Every structure is written in C-alpha cells, then in structure tokens.
Amino acid sequence: MAQQTSVVGASSPMGYRARIRRILTPAVFTGPAAILVFLFFFLPVILTLVISMTDMSVATISNIKFVGMKNYVRIWHSRTTMKILKNTLIYVGFTLTFFNVGMALVLSLLTTHMPDRAGTAFRTFWLLPRITPSVIYAIMWTWFTADAPYGILNQFLSPLGVTPKNWLTAQPWLVVIAANGFVGTSFGMIIFTSAIRSIPVDFLRAALVDGASTWQRIRYVILPMIRWPILFVVSYQTLSLLASFEYILLLTDGGPGFYTTEVWSLHAYHRALSNYFGNVQFGFGAALAAILVVIGVIASVIYLRVFQFNEMVSEPKIEVL
C-alpha cells in the first residue's frame, strides 16, 4: 500500500518515475472506493436503463431479448398505472406537507422557544425513530394501531367516544403517512432549527422593540429568513419519499386489498423482486424503477446547482469536532 512518494521537495527534477507516482498515488487512495461505487452504484444506474428495455424475467432469463420501449408503452397503457400514480402523489404530498415540513417546522419553532436543555432533549428524542431498525418500528406501529383491547391508539381514543378499530386496515393511508412522517420529521427539524438559530439576534430584538407579537415575529421575521432551508427540505425529501417504500412494505405491503397503498417504488419492487405472482419481471420492474432513476438523476443535478450542495455537505463538520 505504502507509496514511497515524496510529492513536495523532491530534490531531483520531475522524472519519469515521479510522474508515474503522481498518477499512481491518487489511484491507490481513491481506487477501493471508486471500484465499489462504480460496481454497485454507478453501474446499476446504467443497468436499470438497459434492463428496462429488455423482456428479462425468470422465464426468459436464458434468452433475453431487447424490446425497446415496449415496457414503457405497457406502463403507459396499464390500468393500474393511474392508481399507483395517485397513491404516490397522496403518499408524497401528505407526508411531506404534514410531517417532513409541517411537523418539522412546528417542532423546530417550539423547541427553540423553550429552555435550551428541554429543546435539545425533545429534538434528540425525535431522532430515535430514525435509528430504530425499520422492522421494529413497523412492529410498534402495528401494535399502536391494533384493534381493541390491544391497540394503544384505541385505548386513548375510546374514552373520547371513538369506536375502536384496527386502524391499519380501516385507515391504511393515515397509518402509512404517520409512520413515515414520524421518521421523516427529524431531517427537516434539524435543518430548520439550525437555520432559526443562525438568524442574527438583532433582527429578533428589533421585532420585539417594534412591539411584534410572538406570532408576528415568526410569520414576518423567522419564516421569510428560513425560506431557503424550507425549499431545500421540500425538494430533497420529495426525492427520498418518491423512492422510499421500506415502511410501507413492512406495514401494509401495498394493501389492504388491491393496491390500496401501493406506491410507485413499491410497485417496481413487487414486479421485479417479490415472488408473489411466481414470475418476476425484471424488465418491467426496471422500467418502473428507471422512471424514478431518471427523475432522481435530474433532480440531484438540479439540487447541486441550486443549493450549492457542496457547502451544505461540508459545512457542519466543524461542529462535530
């Protein structure tokens, strides 16, 4: 591994060997990561597009044929596509509005308006769902929403006169959105909190001197000043929600009934990798995934331009130190 290279201050003029070292040293340093990322990240992006234009399935695996845009035409004409698309919009729209942005804003505003230690404690607690293994998280939600006499939700709601029910089958969307939302909230919460913190105290004081109420101060000083972080969270989380299906897979698996909570990414997974119908269709599933991949690549490149991701990624490292 050790490259005996002295890049700076080599006494001899740059010779042949030194030049080779100049290429070789960075290659050794970046090589391992580059190979892994190429094989399992970059290549799959290309492969998804390629596979999506074949009829690859378990039945045809030994004799794969190129079918051009046929899979995409099938998606376009399929009757389930509208249903899946509608589900995806419901899922992304509501989770984003009420939790990843809504709840995140509420929590960051409230926790910055209480004593610091309490605020930090609450914010830390809200991180727990994010590091809880998804399988356990799903079990907890199943119990939380279970029918009487077991479910926690019914135990709280029945004194209020709500008829006990199994919420997961009665209101699957509500549960799916809430379960995803309670995990997604922390991302926005952290970003909004640090944005609120970085507002110069003078601005807030000036508003106070002018006699603004707390609400006016939030509405006319704080919110306008954190509109970029809000926009960032909206676009970033739209992308991750579009692609996410793990919690839905564990909670409802797209049900109950026929495609009730089946979203686009879950549909791609079901078609290509789940053996429910026996014959898994890699090609068709890949076409479904490829649409998400293209959206993802375009969106990522746009974020890169708009938000100067560069700074976003490297900025907070000093804090950790």
Site for other proteins in 93-112 (CB under 8 A): 100, 103, 106-107, 110-111
Site for other proteins in 150-169 (CB under 8 A): 150-156
Segment interacting with other proteins, rule: CB under 8 A, options 75-83, 145-153, 202-210, 218-226: 145-153
Ordered alpha helix ranges (H), the chain: 16-37, 43-51, 70-77, 79-95, 104-111, 116-131, 134-144, 152-157, 167-170, 172-197, 201-209, 214-217, 223-225, 227-243, 246-251, 264-273, 282-307, 309-314, 317-320
Segment interacting with other proteins, rule: CB under 8 A, options 65-73, 81-89, 128-136, 201-209: 128-136
Site for other proteins in 8-37 (CB under 8 A): 8-9, 22-23, 25-30, 32-34, 36-37
Task: Return the DSSP state at 6.
Answer: -
Contact 84, 287 (CB under 8 A): no
Report, in Å, the least distance between residue 123 CB and other proteins: 6
Site for other proteins in 244-303 (CB under 8 A): 244-246, 249-250, 265, 268-269, 272-273, 282, 285-286, 289, 292-293, 296-297, 299-301, 303
Report, in Å, the least distance between residue 313 CB and other proteins: 4
SS3 for 226?
coil
Nearer residue to other proteins within complex by CB, 91 or 221: 91
Report, in Å, the least distance between residue 83 CB and other proteins: 20
Nearer residue to other proteins within complex by CB, 69 or 273: 273
Strand partners, 66: 54
Site for other proteins in 179-218 (CB under 8 A): 180, 182-184, 186-187, 190-191, 194, 214
* Rounded distance between C-alpha atoms, residue 117 and residue 165, angstroms: 39
Report, in Å, the least distance between residue 182 CB and other proteins: 6
* Rounded distance between C-alpha atoms, residue 140 and residue 313, angstroms: 33
CA dist 11 → 6, 18, 315 (Å)? 9, 11, 38
